[in-house]
Amino acid sequence: MKRKDNTRALAAFLAKKQQIDAMLQRIVALSEDHFQVSPDDVTWGHVGSLEDYAALLKRITDNAFHEGEYAD
């Protein structure tokens, strides 16, 4: 049985993983900086922005972990 060459697929996978890792690092840094908002300046608009971010991340985690609408 001949083994399929996945060299190109692996390279593309690793490149995409690197992109995701960089985005995650930026999100963590932004979160550690309280999303660049000082406590005295927080408004409901900031809360709404974080709700949007959380909803988008929930879609990602639900998909990755087969939860929510992506549950098996």
pLDDT of residue 1: 73
pLDDT of residue 3: 80
Tokens read off for 45: 């608009």
Residue-wise pLDDT tens digits, 1-48 = 778 899 999 999 999 999 999 999 999 999 999 999 999 999 999 999
Residue-wise pLDDT tens digits, 44-71 = 999 999 999 999 999 999 999 999 999 9
Does the model's pTM come out above 0.75?
yes
pLDDT of residue 2: 74
What are the C-alpha distances in Å from 18 to residues 11, 25, 41? 11, 11, 34
